[in-house]
Amino acid sequence: MIVLGLGLLVMLMILSLAGVVVVGGIDLAGLNLGHVVFALQASLMILSALGVIVNRSPIRSALSLVVTLFLLAVMFVSLDAHLVAMLQVIVYAGAIMVLFLFVIMLLNLHEDRPAMVRPGVRGFAGFVGTLFFLGAVHFVMHPLGAAPGAATVPAGFGTIEQLAEQLFTRSLLAFEVTSILLLVAIVGAVVLAKRKLA
Amino acid sequence: MGIEVGIAAIKALIVILMVLSLAGVLGWIERKGSALIQDRIGANRASIFGVAAAGLVNTLMADPLKFLTKEDILPVRADRLLHTLAPCVNLFPVIVAFAAIPFGDAITIGERTVQLQAIPLNVGMLYVLAMMSLGVYGVVLGGWASNDRLSLLGGIRGSAQMISYEIGMGLSIVAMVMTFGTLDLQEMVRAQGHLIGGWLPAWGILYQPLAFLIFLCTGIAESKRVPFDLPEGESELVSGYFTEYSGIKYLMFFMTDFAEVAVVAGLVTTLFFGGWQVPYLMTDGFHFPGGGALLVPRLLVVLLQVAAFMVKVLLFCWLQILMRWTLPRLRYDQLMRFGWKGLLPLSLANVLATATVVLAIGGPA
Amino acid sequence: MTLVPIQLYLILGAVLFTIGAVGVLVRRNVIVIFMSIELMLNAVNLVFVAFARQLQSMEGQVTVFFVMTVAAAEAAVGLAIIIAAFRNRETVNADELNFLRW
């Protein structure tokens, strides 16, 4: 388990380092600050994501996931998506993960037993993972369609006014359906977790 | 580029210092204030060369020293990492939440305009809400990491209470957002600057008295103070979710309590009582409704506004302290019933009414 | 001001997705499997937001909004199912929760 994680980590760090060196250039005019911050965020995020799948105790996995989600929200802010970043903290890190923690505490789950998997599952999973990753990198480096570049974003991008305009005009049907979905989920969760349907 | 970073760093430093010193001073106000209310003297034993300074030496110097030098006790079979992490996770979001609250108007130094607000965010209100919803983790972790039945019970009660009242808080804030038409806290404060009918300052409470009451109740419930402090249940669960903490960790839990009082007071001031606005004070001086005007230099105007903000925040901190020593504690089922069956429908009805009025008027006020 | 090129964000998203996928395949605790699924969803969110800025369209961020909502609903129902299954079998090991096996 640990060996798999470490191997994955080393491969990923080397690749991300290569990416930064190729694209970053030697730019000393303060523009590199954005790249440095990104590199820091990215490596922390990868470390905590690995913490999710590597930790034996489910509570520590959950906490690693909270850290990942929070770092992701920070990255959203740097991507000019302020509202989505706040929603990420409120909804994901502040509510969904609290639900996870509650369930873990309710079921009183301490450390997992050492995984009793059939032999070869881990190797297979590592192989599939590497395949995913290399495939994704290939398509990133050689995109199928034209990738228009963009230097700056229009003013007010990512603010709540623009998101609301999009949400309530072009995505109105999806919005209404999602609200019904949430209602169904609430009723379903309460019924499923009840002890007796009396 | 460097200047921008420097200014941002200075503002952040100011906010952190403000919150931490408020938390400390509130500890003293709480002890002496409760003594006044209960007709006793309060803490006055510790003194330097005979100078007790009305309990300041005791609360601000002796107590922190005591906490810092106490032995750090780790319960048996407790998770060491989580036990150490819980007070930090509890304290961090509350201090950071104060960053989006404006404490003054924009000032111009040289040719640069500086907003007196640590983070000028377009979605400032959501930022504060997000940080307060992160406060649940400290309670959950504190209860779980102590490996102790009573702490776990306090932790579960506390977190359930916090997430229940978060909803009511969010909805009362939605009503305010609809009234002002923006999530930016600085814009909200500016919008409370004009006068209704020529003489009444357009503060938020005049538009939304019900939202004010709901927000106050939910804010106090979020910080788990009396009358909502059953998770901390001093006479029932020893200390609830922070029973097994001593020394610095206990100090951090306590500071979270007072820092949250400060944050709730700051939010109430900003949303409902005009933030840094002084009645009749415009950018260049006082303009009284009768027609008289008193011109005041710009720097003095800014200072007056910052002072007004501090006075209002302290007033609401005092109000919460007063409530603590006046009201009895709610039982847990009463607490949950109040939150779900009382405040939630009320705030929903408030949102509906506000939406109708805003639609009828044709836009936010 | 030169922004961080989008390829880096996409690679990061791919890395997170891969880590989540490996977690689903290898871990046996259903709650940790669930958390790995959430990690995959968040990797996709990152890619959406990166493209939203690249193409200067708000549709990416609206999609993220919906993904978050659906993930919340799914987490609630999924955890309720896990609680119900735990009551029955007293285990959260995916290998032992084999109700439907003949």
| Nearest beta carbon to residue B183 from set A87, A105, A160 | A160
> For residue A4, what pLDDT is reported?
46
Q: How far is CA C33 from the centre of its chain?
A: 9
> For residue C90, what pLDDT is reported?
83
CA dist C95 → A117, B338, C89, C99 (Å): 9, 44, 12, 10
**Burial tier of A49 (Cβ tally within 10 Å: 0-12, 13-18, 19+):** buried
Mutate to test the interface with A, among B123, B125, B132, B173 (most CBs of A within 10 A): B123
Give the count of domains, chain A.
2
**Burial tier of A94 (Cβ tally within 10 Å: 0-12, 13-18, 19+):** buried
* B173 neighbourhood in chain A, CB within 8 Å: none
Tokens at A80, concatenated: 């000019």
CA dist C52 → A31, A150, A160, B114, B288 (Å): 22, 11, 15, 30, 50
Higher pLDDT, A195 or C88: C88
Tokens at A172, concatenated: 């109105």
Name all chains with 3 or more CB-CB pairs below 8 Å to chain B: A
Strand pairing partners for B195?
Answer: B201
Examine the domain organization and report whether A103 and A9 are in the same domain: yes
Residue of B nearest to A30 (CA): B1
**Burial tier of B204 (Cβ tally within 10 Å: 0-12, 13-18, 19+):** buried
Confidence band of B19 (pLDDT split at 50, 70, 90)? confident
Mutate to test the interface with C, among A102, A104, A137, A140 (most CBs of C within 10 A): A140
Q: pLDDT per residue over B277-328, tens digit each?
A: 888 777 777 777 767 777 777 788 888 888 999 999 999 999 998 888 888 8
Residue of C nearest to A95 (CA): C72
Q: pLDDT per residue over B179-224, tens digit each?
A: 888 888 888 888 888 887 777 888 888 888 999 999 999 999 888 7
The answer to whether A51 faces chain B, any CB pair under 8 Å, is no
- Inspect the interface and report whether the beta carbons of A150 and C69 lie closer than 8 Å: no
Confidence band of B347 (pLDDT split at 50, 70, 90)? very high
Q: Has residue C91 got a pLDDT over 60?
A: yes
Residue of B nearest to A82 (CA): B123
| Nearest beta carbon to residue A150 from set C12, C54, C65 | C54
Q: Is the ipTM of this complex over 0.95?
A: no
Examine the domain organization and report whether A125 and A164 are in the same domain: no
Examine the domain organization and report whether A92 and A190 are in the same domain: no
Residue A39 placed within a domain: yes
DSSP code at position C93: B
Higher pLDDT, A55 or B113: A55
Range of the domain at A66: 1-22+33-140
Higher pLDDT, B119 or A99: A99
**Burial tier of C31 (Cβ tally within 10 Å: 0-12, 13-18, 19+):** buried
Domain of A99: which CATH number? 1.20.120.1200
- Inspect the interface and report whether the beta carbons of C26 and A117 lie closer than 8 Å: yes
Higher pLDDT, B82 or B216: B216
* C8 neighbourhood in chain A, CB within 8 Å: 16, 19-20, 23, 38, 42
Residue of A nearest to B128 (CA): A86
Higher pLDDT, B200 or B243: B200
The answer to whether B78 faces chain A, any CB pair under 8 Å, is no
* C17 neighbourhood in chain A, CB within 8 Å: 132, 136
Residue A198 placed within a domain: yes
Largest CA distance in chain A: 70
The answer to whether C74 faces chain A, any CB pair under 8 Å, is yes
From CA A79, how far away is CA C4, in angstroms rounded? 9
DSSP B303-358: HHHHHHHHHHHHHHHHHHHHHHTTSPPPPHHHHHHIIIIIIHHHHHHHHHHHHHHH
* A87 neighbourhood in chain B, CB within 8 Å: 126
> For residue B337, what pLDDT is reported?
92
Residue A152 placed within a domain: no
* Domain assignments of chain C as residue spans, ordered by start: 28-89
Tokens at B302, concatenated: 């800014």
Residue A146 placed within a domain: no
- Inspect the interface and report whether the beta carbons of A117 and C36 lie closer than 8 Å: no
**Burial tier of A190 (Cβ tally within 10 Å: 0-12, 13-18, 19+):** exposed
3-class DSSP assignment, residue B201? strand
Tokens at B111, concatenated: 């040719």
Higher pLDDT, B235 or C50: C50
Q: Where are the beta strands (DSSP E) in A36-136?
A: none
Within the 123-162 window of chain A, which residues sit less than 8 Å (CB to CB) from chain B?
159-160
From CA B337, how far away is CA B330, in angstroms rounded? 10
The answer to whether A98 faces chain B, any CB pair under 8 Å, is yes
Examine the domain organization and report whether A182 and A111 are in the same domain: no
Please, what are the averages of pLDDT over each run of 10 residues along chain A (198 residues)? 44 41 38 76 92 89 93 88 90 92 84 65 80 79 62 72 88 93 94 76
> For residue A117, what pLDDT is reported?
59
> For residue B234, what pLDDT is reported?
53
Residue A28 placed within a domain: no
Radius of gyration of chain B (CA): 22
- Inspect the interface and report whether the beta carbons of A105 and B140 lie closer than 8 Å: yes
Examine the domain organization and report whether A129 and A167 are in the same domain: no
How near does any CA of chain A get to the CA of B357, in Å?
20
From CA C34, how far away is CA B142, in angstroms rounded? 24
Dihedral-angle region of residue B297 (phi above 0 means left; psi in -120 to 50 means alpha; beta otherwise): beta
> For residue A90, what pLDDT is reported?
92
CA dist B65 → A14, B29, B46, B248, B253 (Å): 48, 18, 12, 10, 16
Residue A151 placed within a domain: no
Identify whether B345 is preceded by a cis peptide bond (ω within 30 of 0).
no
The answer to whether B82 faces chain A, any CB pair under 8 Å, is yes
DSSP code at position B108: E
From CA A134, how far away is CA C11, in angstroms rounded? 10
The fold for domain C28-89 equals: Helix Hairpins (1.10.287)
> For residue A21, what pLDDT is reported?
33
Examine the domain organization and report whether A41 and A99 are in the same domain: yes
Confidence band of C1 (pLDDT split at 50, 70, 90)? very low
> What integer best gives the mean pLDDT of chain B?
83
Confidence band of B82 (pLDDT split at 50, 70, 90)? confident
Tokens at B210, concatenated: 């019900």
Residues in chain C: 102
- Inspect the interface and report whether the beta carbons of C38 and A195 lie closer than 8 Å: no
| Nearest beta carbon to residue B163 from set A59, A98, A105 | A98
Residue A145 placed within a domain: no
Average pLDDT over residues B60-81: 78
Tokens at A62, concatenated: 């959950």
From CA A78, how far away is CA B40, in angstroms rounded? 54
Q: Where are the beta strands (DSSP E) in chain B?
A: 107-109, 112-114, 195-196, 200-201, 281-282, 285-287, 293-295
